[in-house]
Amino acid sequence: MLGGSTLQLVAYINGERLDATEMAHRPWRDLVKHPRYAELVLIECGLRAKRVTSHMGRQYFAHYPNLECPVVHKSETPQHLAMKQALKDRINAAPGWTAQVEAAHPQRAWTADVLATNTDGRRLAFEVQLSQQTEEEFVRRSQRYVDDRIGPVWVVPKAFDWFRVQLPMIVTGFGKTSDLPGDPAELMELLDHQPLIGKMARSGAIVDAVLQPRFTWPHGTPRLQWDTIQRLEAERAEAAEAARLKAAQEVTARQLVGQEEVQRKAERDSLFAVQAVAPDVGAVPAVKAGMNVWASIVRCSGSGHPFLIWRLLEPPARIDLRPYRPGPESLDRVLVPVEAWLQAAGGSLVRAKLVTVNRPGKPLGFACPTCNDLVQGRWVSSIPNSKWSAIAERIQAEVDVPRPPEPGSRPGPPREQTPRPQMVRRPARIEEGHPEFIGPRPWALWMSEARDATEIAARQAAKDARAVRLREISENPRYIGSANGFRFQCSDCGGTFEDDNEGIHADAQCLARGSRNPAGSWR
């Protein structure tokens, strides 16, 4: 460091301490005439020094020009030196107190910016800190004074609200780049929020407050506070790590439980399919009915009770991954052939119960008739084709099935059966304009739109013909009607249609290969 770049308030001549803040103008000016002025040195490095007067009349000591100093001196700005001067003057004005700038420990353990000493022996070290400093450094420097029974007081430009350790601080708002006042005493009139009293106050008033005998510091020593904070943080970190490990163990345990549950489900699913048995239709043949019904004998996953489940669609050759849900299987006309086959089979075998599953849409599901355990849809889908048997077969066309009597008809001898006309195969595609075209009819059925008696008669005849056609469809054993009577499901292929729009379901064309249109819908 080049000489002259460091400003100090204290220097020594032959062991005599010289304080630039205490020297009057004439002694300061005549210092160069001192016979031993050439022996003026800075205490920290022992190198020759000189007196310096700033343009504002401030008095400092500095290195003699062109000297190379091996010691890194404490960097003090004019603002720093002015604040020390103001503190010294304020303390000296207090009764019983004297102040000394740059007071050093005998072994140089510390050097206080301003050391205040009372006649009763109390000592306070005022440290002016205008530059940045870590909390840990504040604690370390404060504890050095506490170890020598000196109370540290920090003079800072702003409050350090984020500090965890509580230290006595006087906030001035005056930093190392602030404008220098004409008189250092003006710095004691600076107004700011003071943490020591929790409200706005002037700097000089807080200096006076800490000099009072009643002033005490209840927060403990800096080292005690720091050690307590470190211990609590270590405990919190340890607790957080323990909580993290516990959470990780719980996650692992849940994963293991989940894996075990998945394994149990897989074993239960496979066991359900393994235990399923196809009904022996060799011993008890399929009953004749208006539809085909396939059935399988399964066992309850909980109690092991056997019971019968059934379906209207032929089981696929490949196992369907989609859960199977019964639909029209719950209709009475479907349950009749199921009960008929069970009655023919005899024994204790019973059919499954149909229950509503608590899921969106409220679908139906099979359940054990004994313990009410639900049969999962995926279990039904996992049963291979080989474990299903047809327990009901659709009545062929050549079998005459008498129609049930019309409601309200009188009992009497059976009426002569009128032979049905031979079915005529419809063309694969019916163009618009054909009477059997599925779409807008070429004639209107609304009677209110008729314009004369002839049109009324034509429309009435059309309505009667359509009613006859709907009755024929509803009485067709191949179709399962809905509750409203206008939607039908084909028991051959499972397809549905509305009103008299049979399409390819007529004459069982829906079972012929290639009968679906390119879009995949039923016609």
Q: How confident is the model at residue 519 (pLDDT cuts 50, 70, 90)?
A: very low
389 and 343 in a common domain:
yes
Provide the residue type at 436 as one letter.
Answer: E
85 and 105 in a common domain:
yes
Q: Under a CB-based contact definition with an 8 Å cutoff, are residues 375 and 352 in contact? A: yes
Residue 198 is part of a domain; what is its CATH number? 3.40.1350.10
Structural domain contains residue 352 = yes
Residue that wins the pLDDT comparison between 47 and 163:
163
Residue that wins the pLDDT comparison between 482 and 195:
195
pLDDT in tens, 17-34: 888 877 888 888 888 888
E-strand stretches of 357-430: 364-367, 389-394
188 and 65 in a common domain:
no
Beta bridge mates, 199: 194
Last residue of a domain, one of 175, 204, 220: 220
pLDDT in tens, 144-153: 999 999 999 9
84 and 216 in a common domain:
yes
Domain containing 435: what range?
425-523
Name the nearest CA neighbour of 153 among 87, 109, 214, 250.
Answer: 87
Structural domain contains residue 516 = yes
d(CA 446, CA 460): 9
d(CA 325, CA 312): 11
Q: Under a CB-based contact definition with an 8 Å cutoff, are residues 180 and 82 in contact? A: yes
Structural domain contains residue 266 = no
The tally of domains found in the chain comes to 4
Among 5-19, 65-79, 95-109, which range has the highest average pLDDT? 95-109
Structural domain contains residue 89 = yes
Residue 10 has pLDDT above 90, yes or no: no
Residue 430 has pLDDT above 50, yes or no: yes
Residue that wins the pLDDT comparison between 458 and 414:
458
pLDDT in tens, 40-58: 888 777 788 888 888 777 7
106 and 27 in a common domain:
no
What pLDDT does residue 414 have? 65
E-strand stretches of 317-437: 353-356, 364-367, 389-394
Instruction: State the Cα torsion 221-222-228-232 to the nearest 10°.
Output: 150
Structural domain contains residue 418 = no
What pLDDT does residue 1 have? 36
151 and 88 in a common domain:
yes
Residues 6 or more apart whose CB falls under 8 angstroms from that of 333 comprise 290, 291, 480
Q: How confident is the model at residue 461 (pLDDT cuts 50, 70, 90)?
A: confident
58 and 124 in a common domain:
no
429 and 519 in a common domain:
yes
What's the average model confidence in pLDDT over 487-509? 82
Residue 478 has pLDDT above 60, yes or no: yes
Residue 2 has pLDDT above 50, yes or no: no
d(CA 289, CA 459): 37
Q: Under a CB-based contact definition with an 8 Å cutoff, are residues 116 and 211 in contact? A: yes
d(CA 450, CA 327): 42
Query: Which whole-number Å values give the CA distances from 190 to 65, 170, 172, 206, in the listed order?
Result: 37, 11, 6, 11
C-alpha torsion sign, points 492, 498, 504, 508: positive
Last residue of a domain, one of 174, 200, 220: 220
Q: Under a CB-based contact definition with an 8 Å cutoff, are residues 325 and 406 in contact? A: no
Q: Which residue has the tokens 């106050």?
A: 201
Beta bridge mates, 277: 297
Structural domain contains residue 249 = no
Name the nearest CA neighbour of 114 among 6, 221, 9, 223.
Answer: 9
d(CA 69, CA 2): 7
Last residue of a domain, one of 73, 97, 132: 73
In our burial notation (b when 16+ CB lie closer than 10 A, e otherwise), range 212-236 reads eeeeebeeeebeebbeeeeeeeeee
Residue that wins the pLDDT comparison between 385 and 501:
385
Residues 6 or more apart whose CB falls under 8 angstroms from that of 26 comprise none
Based on the number of CB atoms within 10 Å of its own CB, is 499 exposed (0-12), middle (13-18) or buried (19 or more)? middle
Residue that wins the pLDDT comparison between 215 and 414:
215
Based on the number of CB atoms within 10 Å of its own CB, is 457 exposed (0-12), middle (13-18) or buried (19 or more)? exposed
What pLDDT does residue 93 have? 95
What's the average model confidence in pLDDT over 103-129? 91
Structural domain contains residue 260 = no
Name the nearest CA neighbour of 346 among 298, 410, 284, 395.
Answer: 284
Q: What 3-state class would DSSP assign to 68?
A: strand
Work out the angle at residue 180's Cα, subtended by the Cα atoms of residues 177 and 184, and round it to the nearest 5 degrees.
Answer: 130
Structural domain contains residue 377 = yes
Report phi then psi at 391, rounded to 5.
Answer: -100, -5
54 and 86 in a common domain:
no
Q: How confident is the model at residue 347 (pLDDT cuts 50, 70, 90)?
A: confident
462 and 378 in a common domain:
no
What pLDDT does residue 24 have? 82
Q: How confident is the model at residue 521 (pLDDT cuts 50, 70, 90)?
A: very low
480 and 377 in a common domain:
no
State the pTM of this model: 0.47
What's the average model confidence in pLDDT over 155-159? 95
82 and 69 in a common domain:
no
